[in-house]
Amino acid sequence: MYKIKAVTSMEKIFADREPSGEGFTGALTALRGETVSFQIACWQDGMRKQRGAVSVSCDQPGIRVRVRYVDNVPCAYPCHTNGRRDEDYLTDKPGLYPDPLREIPDYGFSLISGQWRSVWVDLMPDESAGKGRYPVTIHVISKGENGEADSSIGSVTVCLEVLNAALPELDIPHTEWFHCDCLANYYHTEVFSERHWQIIENFLRTAAAHHCNMILTPIFTPPLDTAIGGERRTVQLVEVAVRSDGTYAFGYDRLERWISMCRRLGFQYFELSHLFSQWGAVAAPKIVGCVNGAEQKLFGWDTDATGPVYQSFLHQFLPSLKQELSKLGVLDQTYFHISDEPSGDQLESYRRARASVEKDLAGCHTMDALSDYSFYQMGLVETPVCATNHIKPFLENRPPHLFGYYCTAQWDRVSNRFIVQPGYRTRALGMQLYKENIDGFLHWGYNFYNSEYSLCSIDPFTCTDADGAFPSGDPFIVYPGADAEPVESLRLMLMDEAFSDFCAARLLEKITSREEVLRVLDPDDAFAIDRYPRSCSGLQAARDRVNERLRELL
């Protein structure tokens, strides 16, 4: 009546196909402070829906075990059509596919007759865990109609080896763009009310726990994914007041609270929302301020980016902001944005915007997502954040600092995290970043719960594609839980594994050398920014080689 099968974290369990189990050996290895994961796939052929539950046998102190069930979500737009995808996708058909990781309630999780379901198991050795190999057993049981234990479905025992070192912190910036307005919209709360601050902190804490160490900071409402002439809900940390003589006063109480909270949660870097509109820097972002005691919009789409009114504002604001950031001790860890994703035909408008604030930003870090090498050649951006499918010219003519990013357009050959892409394709990112010596990584969608251009809000549990705009999963990597806590996704955990791989390689580099790590990690030249082993076992073998060398040395 039942089948169970243990599989790697990189295999996605579709309801209508039996998982292969490829790459799973039952042996897992972790550094202290690292999370390693696997899944148990379950199938039953009874006449009706059953419910499942789990229990854990692990007597080793210092090893925490967390078990969740993998839920399915609709993917109406699983991938681009008209030939805009390569062959390394699990499907191109719309359907219900696995992604959210749900806590298992007391009454159990659903086992639907004739369908595969899975539970997700995290093994987390903390700093007190001793070096050695330890068995961990997960028992899967069926539950009766009243919630009581009914019968055993089966059990899986794995061996967790804990190595004699801690996983180091990520030493490059990693940002997942954080959308405060989407949280206020979904939870029906006032922006920067106490409830909103608590929700923000809950979602930030989860990001920080998964190797995210840089945070998009909305000094003004970020001019991102907004229709020309349209608006997103105001989320502005800096308070602005217009004095009677036309000059400006600035208040930083909310910004100070934000930075204090983020530092307490472990964030090390701050990227400030963009100073000019997206896709060309032709206008100002939406900025509201107090005029004669009433709040009103001061700047927006109808404000010329380099016109005298907005320029006067910036020349007053930026020195004041720099002084505040210096007072808070974060100026050296702060990055300024000009405009997001300018194209080649927008080079001149971007150049004018950049030049207009060049003196005000002297000595500060700047970064922008772009793909045209000429922007860097002209000295318009200190740290280019290049799309991974356009990064080769940057690698060949290497800037001192080079970040990478991917989003909806990076669908061919490169790593990405669409829901219907294989898990190994997502996890490959960490080893690719190490191999290519990339200095940071950016993604635009930690929690974007709007349609494209922010025309409306969406429910991410029913719409995973920004209202048919992007491949499912591209806009977000966590879901909004009913208790104002984020629901993690299996893709978040795959990203966590990717950056753990990167950190493990860094640890080995510290003990040996970069040349030694490359020899161990990639002896067959299987990794490049547009190349990776296309199997779970291929990805795992690369990490196993790093673990084996660490085992020898520690």
Contacts of 310 (CB under 8 A, 6+ apart): 284, 299, 303, 304
3-state secondary structure 489-548: EHHHHHHHHHHHHHHHHHHHHHHCCHHHHHHHHCCCCCCECCECCCCHHHHHHHHHHHHH
**Predicted local distance difference test score (pLDDT) of residue 66:** 97
pLDDT interval class at 134 (50, 70, 90): very high
Please determine, for residue 49, whether its predicted confidence score (pLDDT) is greater than 80: no
Tell me the mean pLDDT in the region 269-296: 96
Integer Cα distance of 55 and 504 in angstroms: 31
Q: Checking DSSP bridges between strand 365-370 and strand 149-166, what pairing results, if any?
A: unpaired
Q: Three-state DSSP class for 435? A: helix
pTM score, two decimals?
0.97
Integer Cα distance of 349 and 298 in angstroms: 22
- Start-end of H helices in 117-246: 180-186, 194-209
Dihedral, 390, 391, 393, 395 alpha carbons, nearest 10? -170
Tell me the mean pLDDT in the region 354-382: 94
What residue ranges in 167-280 does DSSP mark as E strands? 174-176, 214-217, 239-242, 248-251, 269-272
Tell me the mean pLDDT in the region 431-441: 98
Please determine, for residue 4, whether its predicted confidence score (pLDDT) is greater than 70: yes
**Predicted local distance difference test score (pLDDT) of residue 47:** 64
Contacts of 245 (CB under 8 A, 6+ apart): none
Tell me the mean pLDDT in the region 184-210: 98
**Predicted local distance difference test score (pLDDT) of residue 145:** 65
**Predicted local distance difference test score (pLDDT) of residue 122:** 98
**Least confident stretch, 218-227, 258-267, 343-352, 473-482:** 343-352
**Predicted local distance difference test score (pLDDT) of residue 146:** 65
Please determine, for residue 238, whether its predicted confidence score (pLDDT) is greater than 70: yes
Integer Cα distance of 413 and 421 in angstroms: 11
For residues 74 and 466, is the Cβ–Cβ distance under 8 A? no
Tell me the mean pLDDT in the region 139-145: 84
**Predicted local distance difference test score (pLDDT) of residue 299:** 98
Average pLDDT across the chain, whole number: 96
**Predicted local distance difference test score (pLDDT) of residue 285:** 98
Of 148-152, 232-236, 339-343, the range with the highest mean pLDDT is 232-236
Please determine, for residue 48, whether its predicted confidence score (pLDDT) is greater than 90: no
Model confidence over 297-331: pLDDT tens digits?
999 999 999 999 999 999 999 999 999 999 999 99
pLDDT interval class at 147 (50, 70, 90): low
Q: Three-state DSSP class for 488? A: strand
Handedness of CA 248, 252, 258, 264 (dihedral sign): positive
pLDDT interval class at 148 (50, 70, 90): low
pLDDT interval class at 7 (50, 70, 90): very high
Give the end-to-end CA distance of the chain in Å, rounded to a whole number. 47
How many residues belong to the chain? 554
| Phi and psi at residue 8, to the nearest 5° | -75, 165
pLDDT interval class at 149 (50, 70, 90): low
Model confidence over 286-297: pLDDT tens digits?
999 999 999 999
CA nearest neighbour of 414 among 533, 502, 531, 535: 531
Residue-range domains of the chain with CATH: 2-167+510-553 (2.60.40.10), 174-488 (3.20.20)
Dihedral, 121, 122, 123, 126 alpha carbons, nearest 10? -160
Q: Could you tell me which residue, 82 or 503, shows the higher pLDDT?
A: 503
For residues 470 and 77, is the Cβ–Cβ distance under 8 A? yes
H or E stretch at 169: none
Model confidence over 390-424: pLDDT tens digits?
999 999 999 999 999 999 999 999 999 999 999 99
Model confidence over 452-508: pLDDT tens digits?
999 999 999 999 999 999 999 999 999 999 999 999 999 999 999 999 999 999 999
CA nearest neighbour of 98 among 127, 128, 69: 69
- Start-end of H helices in 369-417: 373-377, 392-396
Q: How far is residue 113 from each of residues 2, 14, 102, 140, 455, measured CA to CA in Å?
A: 10, 14, 20, 16, 40
H or E stretch at 164: strand 149-166
Please determine, for residue 528, whether its predicted confidence score (pLDDT) is greater than 80: yes
Which two three-digit tokens encode residue 223?
């001019």
